[in-house]
Amino acid sequence: MEELKKLDTSKIQIVHYGHRKCRFSESVDFRVNGKTITTPTFAPRIKNDNELDIYLDVKTSSGAKNLSAYVVRLFDTKRTIQYRLKKSEQRNLIGETLDPKFSNSLKEDIILIDPALEYLYYYPMMNRLRHSSSMPRLIRKYAEQVIEGVESLQKINEEKKHNNQKTDSITAFRDAQHTNFWSCIYKDANSRIKLIRDTCTSELQFHSDILIPPVPLITNPHLLKVTFDMNEKFRALSSDKGECADYFILKQQILKNESVMDSIKAYVADSESALTIFKLKYADLTNPDYALERNAVKKLFEELFLLSQHTDNKAFALFEAGYQTFPAALCSFALVSTAYNLDRGDRRATQGQPISEYANWYDPESMTLRNHDVLSVTTKNNNGILPCYCPECTKKPSLLRENPIEYNKRVKRHFLFSREYEMQSVIDAIERQNVSMGFDKLQRSDLRILTGLLPR
């Protein structure tokens, strides 16, 4: 065993092992705040107390080693972990915590509070940002201004339509407001310090093990410059309070900008941060038309792996990984995170059909989502046996006999078991020096196009 660098327990420490490396894949021990996880680890993005319960139940009942972290967006903290934190501090008559599962999670799991400020760009989430007391005041004020501006613009456009005049673009208004907000943060030191201070305070309040900076969705080179500055300023102002990550939130279209991608890789190579988090926002790289984006991500994966091998104490995480979850884990990302619905519009209404009351089921063979009707037909054609052998799918009564509420809970439990098995399969393949297994698994699935993300 070779330890690259000794750090105190509050700092990130990456421990490498010679037998846990194979080509472009590596499994390391990732340590922070006295917690140690084996990578790759799947970290579900959890949005409410029900999903947290499901995670804790699966972790407790199965002892899943590769479910050792979870991500909560800052505006979801109130409905996810705030009550659990208060309950875990309460004791019964013999001094035991009233929430032992969550108390154990606080000791063992890596908790990541994501500022998730890309939603300043996406209007549908503005009300959530506006009314969440967990969000920094500057963010709530901005959200309120945008909502009022859009409503005013909609009224003006209605009048223009009535008078057969050309309407103003709400999208252009949103883009301009977003860029202007971050430009002001970049130029105004007082506003920047307030945003950093409030974000850091909230993350610490909700026990984030690694502090994550408030950064914009990168839609142009100027916002990349703002991101660099926010990463550096956040680290300078917050590093005495905890370990700070670098954070890059990339709109899919920006992946094709070679200058932007090269600048990010150069920055990461020189940065003091031990962990760099990437988020590829709404990036579904399974689309055949996205060859340039896939090639850009492949180059990113390759260079990050080389960097982790030749730089002391470097690790990487991918948030909202979606269908890229397994390829990223195979390419040495320490933490990979996605929502239970793969960051996609779960059960969206299509072609005039109502939204289904049943959640989509993750198919571990195709590595894609199946709706309730498709799963029913598949199971019927398989002599009534669900095409999965995880504890949830083999349990009686059959998943398909449950009411929608119980069905949806069990589908999410199944999703966690499936991801746990995938992470373990990567670790096993590395130890057997046979990571071509991962290539073969993708090749057999409906995600075969993502084999193009893997270095060859």
pLDDT at residue 1 in the model: 39
Q: How far apart are CA 338 and CA 348, in angstroms?
A: 18
Q: How far apart are CA 176 and CA 211, in angstroms?
A: 29
Domain ranges of the chain: 112-159+166-336
> What separation, in Å, do the N-terminal and C-terminal C-alpha atoms of the chain show?
27
pLDDT at residue 290 in the model: 95
pLDDT at residue 352 in the model: 55
Per-residue pLDDT of the chain (456 residues; tens, 9 = 90+): 344 333 456 689 999 999 999 999 999 999 999 999 999 999 999 999 999 999 999 999 888 889 999 999 999 999 999 999 988 888 887 878 888 999 999 999 999 999 999 999 998 899 999 999 999 999 999 999 999 999 999 899 888 888 888 887 888 999 999 999 999 999 999 999 999 999 999 999 999 999 999 999 999 999 999 999 999 999 999 989 999 999 999 999 999 999 999 999 999 999 999 999 999 999 889 999 999 999 999 999 999 999 998 888 999 999 999 999 999 999 999 999 999 987 664 445 455 567 789 999 999 999 999 999 999 999 999 998 999 999 999 998 889 999 999 999 999 999 999 999 999 999 999 999 999 999 999 999 999 999 999 987
**Could you tell me which of 423, 453, 127, 440 has the C-alpha nearest to residue 280?**
453
Q: How far apart are CA 120 and CA 411, in angstroms?
A: 31
Q: How far apart are CA 59 and CA 49, in angstroms?
A: 15
Q: What percent of the chain has pLDDT over 90?
A: 80
Q: What angle, rounded to 10 degrees, do the helices at 49-62 and 404-431 form?
A: 50
